[in-house]
């Protein structure tokens, strides 16, 4: 296992999706509350607040149930549901919310030796970005001026076209 | 969704749906806007690989790129110096109308994209009809692909006239009609020098000038989401749909009519100030305990309580809605079984022409439907109280149609 031994797609699928499947089956979960957001990635931008998943985890992006206003589809025959309450928040919204509510943050998000993580996943495939932001206020100021996408440091998004779509259609978050 | 409130995010939020017929250039217009506006700080540059193929900014699925057609709705965000914009792209294909609605029901305003070479088509009319139904009456028309008309003024004026008249017939007074070549950027962000006869705003300038009518703060409407029990005390939780609620207020529980008094407003961290429109709070009440689906309102200004709700219904499912059929009606936090008692005034959403009377409402048809409800429901006219004037009809948990209370 690990991206040096197998390709990134296979590694991501095994470490995240397959592991998640085992956890859901083992714990008997009916729903997962997830913090994914539309502005993170063009494929996540197509999500719904309530997203039903089949037994094999597949996400049929082209045939999602209608979701009108805030009348969400809360009753279904899906194997499990993914619930995405933060879907409409942007990266800046999250940091402004963290500041307003005084929420503790993982220190990896704060700059150390001129670098910080802007998006955190598996260690081998996440790279820090150059940054001097050591406080939440400085992160907000940095993002307000940045033109780099949030997940620029995430290798699986870039490996080849549609990797994120393939991962998500199999159940990746 | 209520606008997200964050410190530093006080700028107004404006959500704009791009609607119109398939292949008229909705995604291309959004992509071109994103490209030209990405010089803004805080806005990620668009991927260089999409240059010239601006629709790929939002069409991120493999199938979408291969078929050159938007399949699912998407949102993309733009932070401008004066407001925060959310562009909602929707598919223009008839088969994907449910995805169009998933996007359009979250919009405050719309840009109706009309290709100059094709003019008003089936989905142009259907999307315009849906905007009118959804109460989205702030609409800009972008006449795209003006290059196919040699950027001629007479051709533009003819399309402008048709679009304005068709939308007016639906009750929409357009906020502007703009000649555009989305692919090349003519009148998208910058004004075009190639159409000197046009002296109006670009699409982005017109969006910047939009003025939304903000609904006045109205009487209290508090749809109950549920009742939480803690330390032997029942807290009634929900989001304030309209108005405000303070400790000591005398309220009526609808539909039962029971009288209650607000003993405490509960939130975290603890704060007893009145709860305002859009806020999610808990209420501790003196009096009979309400349940999920009930609506709290001031005694002197109650919503409509009825066993026979009715509304204009747009049907989505392949299997028609039949006279006598039972479906679930969802409105605010209510979910009530209702039987179809009558179907009248059917309209074909492709042509906007009336259809002969028939005891069923088929996919993509609009009709006035009267229901007999299993128990009393709380509704109000959509124009007075949108959150109690719109409903979704479900079969076994799947939305199969939606309606507006007249």
Judge if B251 and B391 occupy the same domain.
no
What's the token pair of residue A72? 């969400």
Task: Give B290-342 pLDDT, tens digit per residue.
Answer: 999 999 999 999 999 999 999 999 999 999 999 999 999 999 999 999 999 99
> Looking at the domain assignment, is residue B5 inside a domain?
no
Terminal CA-to-CA distance of chain B, rounded, Å? 22
- Cα(A93)–Cα(B227) distance, integer angstroms: 30
Q: What residues make up the domain containing B46? A: 13-208
Judge if B269 and B197 occupy the same domain.
no
Judge if B88 and B177 occupy the same domain.
yes
Judge if B40 and B77 occupy the same domain.
yes
User: How close A13 comes to chain B (CA, Å)?
Assistant: 19
Judge if B293 and B312 occupy the same domain.
no
Cβ-Cβ contacts under 8 Å between A and B: the total is 124
What pLDDT does residue A2 have?
A: 67
Higher pLDDT, B248 or B66: B248
Question: Considering just the CA atoms, what is the radius of gyration of chain A in Å?
Answer: 17
Nearest to B45 among A70, A99, A147 (CB): A147
In the predicted model, is pLDDT for residue B166 greater than 60? yes
Q: Would you call B4 and A162 a contact, using CB atoms and an 8 Å cutoff? A: no
Judge if B182 and B239 occupy the same domain.
no
The three-state secondary structure class of B54 is helix
> B381: buried, middle or exposed (CB in 10 Å: 19+, 13-18, 0-12)?
middle
Cβ–Cβ contacts within 10 Å for residue A40, how many?
20
Of the residues B268, B298, B328, the one at which a domain ends:
B298
> Looking at the domain assignment, is residue B37 inside a domain?
yes
Which CATH number belongs to the domain containing residue B138 in this structure?
A: 3.40.50.300
A82 sits in which H/E element: strand A80-83
Task: Give B342-376 pLDDT, tens digit per residue.
Answer: 999 999 999 999 999 888 999 999 999 999 999 99
> Looking at the domain assignment, is residue B213 inside a domain?
no
Domain count, chain B: 3
Q: Say if residues B343 and B369 touch (Cβ distance below 8 Å).
A: yes
Judge if B153 and B259 occupy the same domain.
no
Say how many CA atoms lie within 13 Å of B271 toward its Cβ. Answer: 10
Judge if B89 and B183 occupy the same domain.
yes
Q: pLDDT grade, residue B5 (50/70/90)?
A: very low
In the predicted model, is pLDDT for residue B9 greater than 60? no
Q: Which residues of A touch B (CB under 8 A)?
A: 38-39, 41-43, 45-46, 48, 61-62, 64-71, 73-77, 88-90, 92-93, 96-97, 99-100, 140, 143-150, 161-162, 165
In the predicted model, is pLDDT for residue B226 greater than 90? yes
User: How close A169 comes to chain B (CA, Å)?
Assistant: 11
Task: Give B19-40 pLDDT, tens digit per residue.
Answer: 999 999 999 999 999 888 876 6
Judge if B132 and B226 occupy the same domain.
no
Q: Where are the domains of chain A?
A: 8-88, 91-153
What's the token pair of residue B317? 């499912």
What pLDDT does residue A88 have?
A: 92
Which CATH number belongs to the domain containing residue B265 in this structure?
A: 2.40.30.10
In the predicted model, is pLDDT for residue B50 greater than 50? yes
- Mean pLDDT of the region B254-271: 95
What pLDDT does residue B40 have?
A: 67
Is the backbone of residue B18 left (phi > 0), alpha (psi -120 to 50) or beta?
A: beta
Q: pLDDT grade, residue B3 (50/70/90)?
A: very low
What pLDDT does residue B63 have?
A: 80
Judge if B294 and B308 occupy the same domain.
no
Give the chain A residue nearest B45 (alpha carbons). A147
Judge if B55 and B198 occupy the same domain.
yes
Q: Would you call A62 and B61 a contact, using CB atoms and an 8 Å cutoff? A: yes
> A83: buried, middle or exposed (CB in 10 Å: 19+, 13-18, 0-12)?
middle
Select from 3.40.50.880, 3.40.50.1980, 3.40.50.620, 3.30.160.40 the CATH code of A8-88.
3.40.50.620
């Amino acid at each position: 296992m690990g991206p040096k031994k197998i390709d990134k797609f296979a590694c991501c699928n095994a470490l995240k999706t397959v592991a998640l499947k085992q956890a859901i089956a083992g714990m008997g979960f009916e729903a997962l509350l997830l913090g994914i957001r539309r502005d993170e990635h063009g494929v996540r931008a197509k999500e719904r607040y309530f997203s039903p998943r089949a037994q094999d985890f597949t996400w049929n992006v082209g045939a999602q149930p209608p979701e009108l206003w805030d009348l969400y589809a809360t009753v279904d025959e899906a194997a499990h549901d993914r619930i995405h309450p933060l879907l409409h928040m942007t990266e800046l919204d999250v940091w402004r919310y963290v500041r307003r509510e005084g929420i503790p943050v993982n220190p990896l998000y704060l700059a150390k030796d001129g670098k910080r993580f802007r998006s955190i996943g598996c260690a081998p495939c996440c790279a820090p970005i150059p940054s001097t932001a050591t406080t939440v206020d400085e992160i907000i100021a940095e993002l307000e001026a940045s033109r780099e996408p949030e997940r620029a440091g995430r290798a699986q998004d870039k490996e080849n076209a549609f990797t994120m779509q393939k991962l998500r259609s199999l159940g990746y978050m | 969704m209520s606008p997200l409130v964050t410190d530093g995010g006080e700028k107004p939020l404006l959500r704009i749906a791009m609607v119109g017929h398939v292949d008229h250039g909705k995604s291309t217009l959004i992509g071109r806007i994103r490209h030209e506006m990405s010089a803004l700080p805080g806005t990620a540059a668009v991927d260089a690989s999409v240059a010239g193929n601006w629709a790929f900014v939002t069409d991120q699925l493999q199938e979408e790129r291969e078929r050159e057609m938007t399949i699912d709705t998407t949102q993309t965000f733009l932070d401008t110096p004066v407001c925060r914009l959310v562009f909602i792209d929707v598919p223009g294909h008839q088969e994907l109308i449910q995805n169009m609605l998933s996007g359009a029901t979250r919009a405050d305003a719309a840009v109706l994209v009309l290709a100059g070479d094709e003019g008003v088509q089936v989905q142009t009319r259907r999307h315009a009809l849906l905007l009118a139904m959804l109460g989205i009456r702030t609409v800009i028309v972008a006449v795209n692909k003006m290059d196919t008309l040699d950027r001629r003024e007479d051709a533009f004026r003819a399309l402008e006239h048709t679009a304005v008249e068709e939308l007016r017939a639906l009750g929409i007074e357009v906020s502007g009609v703009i000649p555009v070549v989305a692919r090349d950027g003519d009148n998208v962000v910058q004004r075009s020098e190639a159409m000197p006869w046009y002296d109006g705003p670009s699409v982005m300038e017109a969006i910047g000038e939009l003025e939304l009518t903000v609904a006045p703060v109205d009487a209290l409407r508090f749809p109950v989401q549920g009742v939480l029990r803690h330390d032997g005390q029942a807290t009634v939780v929900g989001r304030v749909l309209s108005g405000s609620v303070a400790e000591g207020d005398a309220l009526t529980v609808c539909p039962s009519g029971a009288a209650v008094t607000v003993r405490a407003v509960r939130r975290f961290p603890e704060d007893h100030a009145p709860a305002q429109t859009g806020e999610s709070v808990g209420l501790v009440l003196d009096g009979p305990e309400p349940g999920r689906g009930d609506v709290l309102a001031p005694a002197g200004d109650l919503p409509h309580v009825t066993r026979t709700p009715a509304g204009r219904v747009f049907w989505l499912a392949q299997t028609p809605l039949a006279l006598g059929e039972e479906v679930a009606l969802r409105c605010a936090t209510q979910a009530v079984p209702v039987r179809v008692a009558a179907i009248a005034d059917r309209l074909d959403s492709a042509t906007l022409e009336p259809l002969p009377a028939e005891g069923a409402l088929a996919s993509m048809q609009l009709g006035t439907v009267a229901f007999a409800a299993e128990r009393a429901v709380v509704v109000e006219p959509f124009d007075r109280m949108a959150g109690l004037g719109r409903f979704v009809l479900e079969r076994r948990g799947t939305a199969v149609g939606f309606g507006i209370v007249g």
